[in-house]
């Protein structure tokens, strides 16, 4: 009981409202079924509830009789559901097995797997209705009308699906790529038939409708640029400039994540305490932040080795009494 209370207290007001509505709906549905089956026992044979079943038939007997009649149909439906789910799982496994050979293959596999799930659910619903005796012509006519209604009312859904297909076949980005969408930077987790899921460095997952992706920056399309800026003391700059130009290549063995570089660019700013210099190198986007950290570590050791001073704030205390003597 305490766990339930603690869980309730941790919920937001919106989550509490949703849970309350769900509980009320289930309670209402249970009450209707209970009254339909047992109402004539509590309110008498002349009550409105007695007309739900024959007055001489108990609710349980009525349900039991219906189950006896429908057992073959129910078993047939269960068999069809199991077969449909098994086939969809086998198809998904085969697709994932043969397409998981490249990033683009993974992306296509995720999209096809998402499509198979939706298609299987629709086929199961239609076939169960046919098994229970629904007229096929009326059913397909209803499906056609329903499709027209959905097409008119759910244009954004159709737009999401079409956009998802174009994203995959135009190779705009793939599963595993690092992208920026509306200032949100992260790695693509999956590309579904409706949405794209992106996870950032903090583990936050952003789910975006495919049709809402207007502009993206694909950071994995080509090697990214790792950039490190260091401040050099004015007195040491000319010497440091020559050392960086001639000896920086000695750091390469210590920086395996760099595809190209690092390269010394030169001074970029005259700051208050020193001169800012820039170093760049090409790395995989997955390793960019770690590569920049590794370069800073290597530069600190390199500068200490060559006695190149990094300026830092100093505080000078002046004693007026000592100065006046």
Q: Cα(266)–Cα(261) distance, rounded to whole angstroms? A: 14
pLDDT digits (tens, 9 = 90+) for 267-303: 888 888 888 999 998 888 888 888 889 999 998 988 8
Regarding predicted confidence, which is higher, 98 or 56? 98
Structure tokens at 146: 């329903």
- What does the pLDDT average to over 94-111? 67
pLDDT at 139: 57
HSE-CB at 296 with a 13 A cutoff on CA atoms is 13
Q: What is the pLDDT of residue 157?
A: 67
Q: Percent of the chain at pLDDT above 90?
A: 1
Q: How confident is the model at residue 210 (pLDDT cuts 50, 70, 90)?
A: confident
Domain ranges of the chain: 1-56, 157-218, 224-305
Fold adopted by 157-218: SH3 type barrels. (2.30.30)
Straight-line distance from the first to the last Cα atom of the chain, in angstroms, rounded to the nearest whole number: 79
CATH topology of domain 224-305: Alpha-Beta Plaits (3.30.70)
Average pLDDT over residues 132-157: 60
Residues 61-95: tens digit of each pLDDT: 555 565 556 667 777 777 778 888 888 888 877 77
How many whole angstroms separate alpha carbon 325 and alpha carbon 293? 51
| Cβ atoms within 10 Å of 59's Cβ, excluding its own | 19
pLDDT at 13: 66
Q: Please give the Cα distance from 323 to 325 (Å, whole number).
A: 6
DSSP code string of 260-311: EEEEEEEEEEE-SSSEEEEEEEEE-GGGHHHHHHHHHHHHHHHHHHTTPPPP
Q: Which residue has the tokens 């509590």?
A: 42
What is the CA angle 164-169-171, rounded to 5?
95
Asked if residue 126 has pLDDT above 80, the reply is no
Mean of pLDDT over the chain: 75
Q: Residue 279: its pLDDT value, please?
A: 92
CA distance linking residue 9 with residue 138, whole number of Å: 50
What mean pLDDT comes out for the span 34-57?
55
Q: Which residue has the higher pLDDT, 323 or 287?
A: 287
Candidate from 20-34, 135-149, 278-292, 296-310 with smallest mean pLDDT: 135-149
Spatial separation of the C-alpha atoms in residues 317 and 15, rounded to whole Å: 59
Identity of the highest mean pLDDT range in 27-41, 93-107, 193-207, 223-237: 223-237
pLDDT of residue 23: 80
Report the pLDDT averaged over residues 25-45: 64
């Amino acid at each position: 009981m305490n766990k339930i209370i603690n869980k309730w207290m941790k919920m937001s007001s919106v989550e509490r409202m949703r849970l309350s509505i769900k509980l009320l709906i289930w309670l209402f549905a249970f009450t209707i079924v209970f009254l339909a089956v047992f109402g004539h026992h509590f309110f008498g044979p002349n009550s409105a509830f007695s007309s739900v079943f024959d007055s001489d038939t108990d609710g349980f007997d009525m349900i039991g009789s219906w189950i006896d009649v429908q057992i073959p149909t129910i078993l047939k439906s269960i068999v069809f559901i199991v077969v449909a789910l098994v086939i969809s799982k086998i198809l998904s496994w085969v697709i994932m097995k043969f397409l998981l050979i490249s990033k683009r293959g993974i992306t296509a596999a995720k999209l096809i797997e998402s499509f198979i799930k939706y298609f299987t659910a629709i086929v199961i619903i239609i076939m169960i209705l046919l098994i229970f005796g629904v007229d096929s012509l009326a059913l397909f006519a209803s499906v056609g009308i329903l499709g027209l209604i959905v097409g008119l009312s759910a244009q954004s859904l159709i737009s999401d699906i079409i956009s998802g297909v174009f994203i995959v076949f135009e190779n705009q980005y793939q599963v595993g790529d690092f992208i920026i969408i509306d200032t949100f930077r992260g790695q693509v987790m999956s590309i579904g038939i409706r949405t794209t899921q992106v996870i950032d460095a903090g583990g936050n997952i952003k789910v975006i409708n495919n049709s809402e992706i207007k502009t993206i920056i694909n950071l994995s399309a080509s090697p990214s640029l790792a950039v490190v800026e260091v401040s050099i003391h004015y007195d040491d700059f000319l010497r440091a400039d020559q050392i960086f130009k001639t000896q920086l290549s000695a750091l390469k063995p210590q920086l395996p994540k760099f595809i190209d570089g690092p390269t010394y660019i030169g001074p970029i700013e005259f700051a208050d305490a020193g001169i800012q210099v820039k170093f760049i190198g090409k790395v995989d986007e997955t390793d960019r932040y770690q590569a920049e950290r590794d370069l800073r570590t290597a530069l600190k050791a390199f500068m200490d080795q060559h006695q190149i001073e990094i300026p830092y704030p100093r505080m000078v205390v002046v004693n007026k009494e000592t100065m006046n003597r």
